[in-house]
Amino acid sequence: MILRRFCKLAAATLVALSACKIERTPESYIDPIDTPAGEIEASREELTDRLISTAAAAQRRDNPALIAALVPLSGAGFFGLEADEDSTSNAPVNALVDLFSQGEVAMTEPVVEVGPGNNVAWFSTTYEVSAAPLDAASVRFSGVFIRQEGEWRLAQGHLSRATPPTLPNPALPAAPDTAAGGG
């Protein structure tokens, strides 16, 4: 009796499963990162223009213009030349203003790469600073923008010397000859 019920249940299950058809998931639902090339190019151009505006704004000590260009995220990571990580939202603005406020600044064309989903972008550029506090140096500015609610915002930034500082090179004493002493 139990065996007969089990056989009927198994047969009913097989009949029910044979009516099911498994279909392949449409490609449009898998990894939908096919952003049109025009949208990616428009994002790249927007970010390039915003980065170009940073040199003049920093030199003028125009914090609102820098904030408008970078739109830093709250808690964005920022690493500078003299300081450890600073996670305040105005850290990139303050660092650029401090660096460029006392000298002339020229800038190379920024290199901006936008991800295929049009939601993340990497950038790099170099500022040529002609006066103190850097005493004529090249400063590399690189970082990451992310797109939140349709707006590009600086998520991480990094400032570093592109050319090492010129330091006095005193004559070094000669190394002792340890081979002659047998030691």
pLDDT in tens, 63-77: 889 889 998 887 777
| Tokens standing for residue 68 | 């408008």
User: How far is Cα 78 from Cα 89, in angstroms, rounded to an integer?
Assistant: 9
| Tokens standing for residue 20 | 């099911």
Q: Tell me the average pLDDT across 10-25.
A: 74
26-60 pLDDT, tens per residue? Answer: 776 766 556 788 999 999 999 999 999 988 888 88
Which pLDDT belongs to residue 172? 55
Angle at which helices 91-100 and 63-70 cross, to 10°:
130
Domain boundaries, the chain: 35-161
Residue 164 DSSP code: P
How much is the mean pLDDT over the chain? 78
113-160 pLDDT, tens per residue? Answer: 999 889 999 999 998 877 655 566 788 899 999 999 999 999 998 888
| CATH assignment of 35-161, among 3.10.20.30, 3.10.450.50, 3.40.1360.10, 3.40.50.740 | 3.10.450.50
Which pLDDT belongs to residue 101? 65
Confidence band, pLDDT 50/70/90 cuts, at residue 81: low
Residue 177 DSSP code: -
Q: Which of 89, 159, 169 is nearest to 129 (CA)?
A: 159
Which pLDDT belongs to residue 42? 95
Q: What pTM does this model have? A: 0.66
Which pLDDT belongs to residue 84? 47
